[in-house]
Amino acid sequence: MIRKRVYLLVLAGSLILAELVGAPSSIAIREAKVLGHAEERAQRLAEQVLGNDREKFVDYTTTGGTWNVKNDSTWCSGFVPGIYWYLWAITGEAGWRDLAMKWTEGVRSRATATDNDTGFQVYESFGLGYAFDETLRSNYGPVLLQGADTLVNQRYNPDIGCFRSWDQNLTDPYSGLFEVNIDQMMNLELILWAGLNGGPPEYVDYAVSHADKTWEHNVRPDGSTYHVVSYNLDGTVDSKRTHQGWTRDSTWSRGQAWAVYGYTMVYRYTGLPRMLSRAIRCYDYFIRETILDDNNYIPYSDFDAPLDSRNPRDTSAGAIVASAALELYQITGDRRYLMNAEAILGSLSSPQFLTIGWGWQSILGGASEKWGRSDVGAIFADFYLLEALYRWELVEQPPAQVTGSWAGYDVLDSHFVDTGDWMGWMLARDAPYLYHYGLEDWLYVENSTVSDQGAWFYAFRP
Ligand code: GLY
């Protein structure tokens, strides 16, 4: 459980300081803004969009920002409880746990359903509950094992060495088309978890085999990815195609994000060095191609497609990679992952993508279901944003202590000041943010000087 350090709730132009403990950096303050916004959207999702009905879920919004309400069979059903689990983990507020448990129950029957995305559905609900709350383990553990059994029995073909993504309605892995998409890497988490937590140990071998085959056939030598590979039943490759990208040989950015996250996650469970080097190869491709287009760290839907209206950005791909980058930083200690993650989070928390004041129901805008579709919100974009915030809190470094005074206030490094006109932080290492009550807006630093004592002084605009 992460101790809540900064919590700002921005509602209807009023700002309530609920708690301040410790020393935030500017990203922490951006995080507080995102968190307040996320909490407001998540509460409305439960009450207004889903009507407190645990059988209802969402996947994408319309282009106007209104959630499409679905039943539990959407591949996205696990992300609804997942968002509540992360809000509980970040804030420690019991109400989020209640909502998380409620919608986790709504997903229970997916553990025995026919679906290639059982891993997404069951792990982001029961798996996160199991991870965050020991008291739920005896209840949730069997559901996770059951979900893994279902995926293995219906989807794993040992002659091919992969789990089938499509034809998604078939339960016999020896009949019909056998297509494997890059997204399927994500469903390995449930399999790996089961193999290491009381399920058949060979499940780990199945997951490793799938990851190896995916590397061989879905990933190109430069680290980019084919979306879909179709296998013959003797394990040879029949053909390759894309379902959500531009063309067969282009790279769909969310598929690339799944590869980055997927190999990082497989490394976490297996410790196999080749999984880590694959994660890094895919990551390097993702970051290089994203930055090539412009500097805002959020890719377009397809890295190779022309930059026109059919190729919108995809904030979900950015959020997935921000979260994976924070895990890569934790594993390797290489600060470039932390810096890239912070750059992505900086973009996601900017007015271009964060839906404060938009009248949308999602936390983020600027996602896309696939190449050729318009900008929408996506529940998994919101989910991975919150996961990244959670992970960022785990890896952040405490800032150096610097003292001084400013505007008559003592400054001890990251020091909170509330003058009645505005509130904000004096920061030793990074650009500060403050909230101006009269303007009902966040203001950003314009310039700064460093005092003899080493404290930084800021002038704010306007
Ligand atoms: N199938 C997961 C996705 O659309 O990314």
**What is the distance in angstroms between the CA of the first residue and the CA of the last residue of the chain?**
39
29-395: which CATH architecture?
A: Alpha/alpha barrel (1.50)
- Residue of 59, 115, 183, 430 marked catalytic: 183
Q: Whose CA is nearest to atom 4 of ligand 1?
A: 369
CB hemisphere CA count around 201 (13 angstroms): 0
Q: Are 460 and 445 in contact (CB under 8 A)?
A: yes
Query: Given the CA of residue 258, which atom of ligand 1 is nearest to it?
Result: 5
| Residue given tokens 């006109």 in the structure block | 421
Query: Given the CA of residue 120, which atom of ligand 1 is nearest to it?
Result: 2
Concatenate the DSSP letters of all residues of 379-443 into one string.
Answer: HHHHHHHHHHHHHHHHHPPPPPP-EEEETTEEEESSEEEE-SSEEEEE-SSS--EEEETTTTEEE
Between strands 403-406 and 14-20, the pairing is unpaired
Q: From the CA of 183, how far away is ligand 1's center (Å)? A: 6
Q: Whose CA is nearest to atom 2 of ligand 1?
A: 183
Q: From the CA of 16, how far away is ligand 1's center (Å)? A: 37
| Residue given tokens 């109400």 in the structure block | 95
Q: From the CA of 211, how far away is ligand 1's center (Å)? A: 17
Query: Given the CA of residue 369, which atom of ligand 1 is nearest to it?
Result: 4
Q: Which of 123, 47, 48 is nearest to 79 (CA)?
A: 123
Domain ranges of the chain: 9-23+402-449, 29-395
Q: Which of 355, 352, 395, 356 is nearest to 378 (CA)?
A: 355
Q: pLDDT tens track of the chain, all 462 residues?
A: 332 222 222 222 222 222 222 333 456 656 778 999 999 999 999 999 999 999 999 999 999 999 999 999 999 999 999 999 999 999 999 999 999 999 999 999 999 999 999 999 999 999 999 999 999 999 999 999 999 999 999 999 999 999 999 988 899 999 999 999 999 999 999 999 999 999 999 999 999 999 999 999 999 999 999 999 999 999 999 999 999 999 999 999 999 999 999 999 999 999 999 999 999 999 999 999 998 888 789 999 999 999 999 999 999 999 999 999 999 999 998 888 988 998 899 899 999 999 999 999 999 999 999 999 989 999 999 999 999 999 998 887 544 433 444 455 444 444 455 566 655 554 444 444 455 556 665 554 444 444 444 434 444 433
Q: Which amino acids bring their CB within 6 angstroms of ligand 1?
A: 75, 183, 244, 254
Active site residue 183: yes
Active site residue 167: no
Q: Which of 389, 416, 415 is nearest to 402 (CA)?
A: 415
Write the pLDDT tens digit of every residue in 145-183. Answer: 999 999 999 999 999 999 999 988 899 999 999 999 999
Write the pLDDT tens digit of every residue in 201-235. Answer: 999 999 999 999 999 999 999 999 999 999 999 99
Distance CA 405, CA 409 (A): 5
Q: Which of 246, 173, 241, 239 is nearest to 210 (CA)?
A: 173
